Structure 1
Amino acid sequence: MKNTVLITGTSSGFGKAAVKHFAREGWNVVATMRAPAAETDLVGMKDVLVTRLDVQDRGSIDEAIAAGIARFGKIDVLVNNAGFSLFGVFESISREKMQEQFDVNVFGVMDVTRAILPHFRQQKLGMILNISSGAGVFTLPMLSAYCGSKFALEGFSEALRYELASQNIAVKIVEPGGALATSFGARSGAEAAHNTSLADYEAFVARANEAFAGLRAKRLATSEDVAEVIFRAATDGTDQLRYVATEDIQPLVKARRETSEEAYMAFMQSHFPTP
């Protein structure tokens, strides 16, 4: 039987690109999204099932997994890609919005993973690929909510890896950049519109936005490049845990993981100086 992957959050960005990449490579794909009725690009693709899955609706999670198994017989790989980013100073973000950030980026991943594990255990094989972010490795101003959620995802994924290895189920993490530049940023921008900064933060926000503009200008990777890394992680046959998916964040990842705390903080301060 052909391999089958279920991918969440496939209406745009990394998720949509991953659907097309896996399909080109001959995989069956369960392409899930919150509003499949609006999807036109993926519908009709060979061996691609477009179906509803909202990570905040546990009933839809069970239904999507069941639909994928009914269509293709099994699921081999889960790609937890659905997510969004809140952008703004922490003090301007309501508790309800912060809860939603973690509901989607952390608890949603946990719920989809929990739902598919019985199937993976039954077939004694499976892989969970969690799409994290450079913001799950290093922190960025104006992204405290998003960084918090992705740091939580990284810790969850790494700890889960030990447990599931006993069941022949792999766990991997893909870390792309572009938290403010991918099309999933459309939701980020919409959220930011409701998070007006407090006047005392205006100088800081202006300086941070200048720094982010510089980071965006250096972004070279596309969603298709990230999809290629996701596919490689799913198929390389190694037990590698983390895959840095875009070159733009390599200096920040290196500073975080390969230097001292003092050197890292000085490096980040040089990019995001306090006014």
Structure 2
Amino acid sequence: MQKTIFITGASSGLGKAAAKLFQKNGWKVIATMRKPEEEKELTELPNVFVVQLDVMDLVKIKKTISEVLKIHEIDVVLNNAGYGLIGPLEAFTDEQIQTQIQTNLGGVIHVTKAFVTFFRERKRGTFINVTSTFGLLGYPTCSIYNATKFAVDGFSEGLAYELAQFGIKVKVVAPGGMQTDFAGRSLHGAMHTAYSELISKVSEGYSEDQVANYSKATAVAEVIYEAAIDEKDQMRYIAGDDAIQLYNERLDLTPEGQFEKIRSQFIF
């Protein structure tokens, strides 16, 4: 029986890679994005339905998902939509902070809530929430981004306990660096002269040479696909060699040890 996945943020990067992979493997794909009129690739694929959705619009989330569920029987929800707000806290406006939280965290919560009743009544279904290595450990100039991704991880864990009784699985995929346009269209930055040395040091991680070592979006999409079909009770899936290394260090050193290791790199 053909299965169906609902994906947020499918216009580029990991979301688009996941949409293509699931479609290639025989799934029906509901690919949502803010500007479907600009999508030229997914619209040409059979069994892919491109739908307009902005995860910051709570009214639209409820209406869109209600309409989708009248037509399609969703098996997996992939909460992928999000972006990175990078820079020192002091440089951000209140609006930037709120938008980051509402997109990366609020979007996940409200999209998930819109599907819970449907999954509960069917006594099956899977939520897969994309976090980040920075949802497992903190990093300078990423404090608000860290906050949203840590929060999605905690939200997912709590929800996994809550929904297990109904046969619903909640999983997290935490990628490390990816070779996508995240640093372009999905990375928003803010500068402050007092932090120029720190920003310069952190920026080394986004250099062309460093990005070349990151995982391809297609490789992370494979991890998402495995999480969707493996029937395991595993909650966290760490995607990418750099992510696995950092996560293992986190486990070996304890959070306090990891904190001291990273902190020591940024004391000038």
TM range (shorter): over 0.9
User: What letter is aligned with 1:187?
Assistant: R
CA distance in 2, matches of 1:112, 1:215: 36
1:97 matched to 2:96: yes
1:169 matched to 2:168: yes
Q: Which residue does 2:191 correspond to in 1?
A: 196
1:274 matched to 2:267: yes
Count residues with an aligned counterpart. Answer: 268
1:238 matched to 2:244: no
User: What letter is aligned with 2:2?
Assistant: K
Contact kept in structure 2, 1:22 and 1:29, CA below 8 Å? yes
User: What letter is aligned with 2:134?
Assistant: A
Q: Which residue does 1:16 correspond to in 2?
A: 16
Summarize the alignment of residues 100-249 of structure 1 with structure 2, pairs less than 5 Å apart: 100-178=99-177, 182-189=180-187, 191-192=188-189, 195-197=190-192, 199-213=193-207, 216-217=210-211, 219-249=213-243
TM-score by length of 1: 0.91
What secondary structure sits across from 1:152 in the alignment?
helix
User: What letter is aligned with 1:184?
Assistant: F
CA distance in 2, matches of 1:215, 1:176: 19
Q: Deviations over 1:52-85 (max 9, x none)?
A: 111111232233323433443x001100000001
**5+ unaligned residues in a row in structure 1: which ranges?**
none
User: CA separation of 1:215/1:274 partners in 2, compared to 1, >3 Å: closer, same or farther?
Assistant: farther
Structure 1, 160-169 or 213-222: larger mean CA deviation: 213-222
Quote how far apart the aligned CAs of 1:262 are: 4.7
CA distance in 2, matches of 1:33, 1:225: 22
Identity, in percent, stands at 39
CA distance in 2, matches of 1:211, 1:28: 37
Quote how far apart the aligned CAs of 1:188 are: 4.0
Summarize the alignment of residues 59-74 of structure 1 with structure 2, pairs less than 5 Å apart: 59-72=59-72, 74=73
User: CA separation of 1:165/1:154 partners in 2, compared to 1, >3 Å: closer, same or farther?
Assistant: same
CA distance in 1, matches of 2:186, 2:24: 30
